[in-house]
Amino acid sequence: MPAYQRILLKLSGEALMGDDAFGINRATIVRIVDEIAEVTRLGVQVAIVIGGGNIFRGVAGGSVGMDRATADYMGMLATVMNSLALADTMNKAGLVARVMSAIGIEQVVEPYVRPKALQYLEEGKVVVFAAGTGNPFFTTDTAAALRGAEIGAEMVLKATKVDGVYTADPNKDPSATRYTTISFDEAMVKNLQVMDATAFALCRDQKLPVKVFSIFKPGALRNVVMGADEGTLVHV
């Protein structure tokens, strides 16, 4: 039996790039969807928040000096594109996915409505929350914490390029060791930068644990939902 029945998976836009400079790598998104499909077959309810860095990176050169709020709205639109691509790939793989946006673009995706999102999850659909919180100055990490709390997720799963939180950057320090578990307070004192400060504080206040793991490790997502020793658990 899975250790968790309802999770919020936070994906960075960069996770979809594969080896490409920006954009979406087809093989990579298909592999990620296969991982998601595997855990849904276990009966786990899955909601997803995805960033937009892979798409926004392609225009970032022209955004130098841009008003921060304008740049953030552009980033929100990038998350909508990623969400549509992810949902389309999931639907083609036999899953049923719904995209819900925090900003109003009804001709493209439906608006985020909490009761409707909960209904979709209970029906076994995968819900993809797009456009962050709908507000500038807030990251998709904060959106993941917020939506995770709103839908009653048992855990926020932050999918990264590394397989957990380390005492130092493992790419620079070979002696760095991975934390199996660590408290929110200890992570903040050590400035480990698991998530941005707003998201981190929200998860701590809502007693919503965060699991940091590598989305690039085959089977890691399944291991996490089954309660195996995978990644790093950040808890109260």
Is residue 141 annotated as involved in ligand binding? no
CB atoms within 10 A of CB 32: 23
Is residue 163 annotated as involved in ligand binding? no
SS3 198: helix
CB atoms within 10 A of CB 72: 17
Is residue 191 annotated as involved in ligand binding? no
Is residue 139 annotated as involved in ligand binding? yes
Is residue 135 annotated as involved in ligand binding? yes
Is residue 213 annotated as involved in ligand binding? no
Is residue 11 annotated as involved in ligand binding? yes
Rounded Cα gap, residues 224 and 66, in angstroms: 40
Q: Between vectors from CA 169 to CA 163 and to CA 172, what angle results, nearest 5°?
A: 120
Is residue 57 annotated as involved in ligand binding? yes
119: phi then psi, degrees, rounded to nearest 5 = -60, -45
Is residue 6 annotated as involved in ligand binding? no
Is residue 62 annotated as involved in ligand binding? no
Is residue 174 annotated as involved in ligand binding? no
The gap between the terminal CA atoms of the chain, to the nearest Å, is 25
> Chain-centre distance of CA 80, in angstroms?
13
Q: Is 64 exposed, middle or buried (0-12, 13-18, 19+ CB in 10 A)?
A: exposed
Is residue 219 annotated as involved in ligand binding? no
CB 183 within 8 A of CB 236: yes
Is residue 129 annotated as involved in ligand binding? no
Distance set, CA 74 to CA 61, 185, 196 (Å): 13, 33, 20
Is residue 170 annotated as involved in ligand binding? no
Is residue 12 annotated as involved in ligand binding? yes
Is residue 181 annotated as involved in ligand binding? no
Rounded Cα gap, residues 31 and 199, in angstroms: 27
Is residue 138 annotated as involved in ligand binding? yes
Residues of the binding site: 10-13, 52-53, 57, 72, 133-140, 160, 166, 169
Residues of the binding site for ATP: 10-13, 53, 57, 160, 166, 169
Residues of the binding site for UMP: 52, 72, 133-140
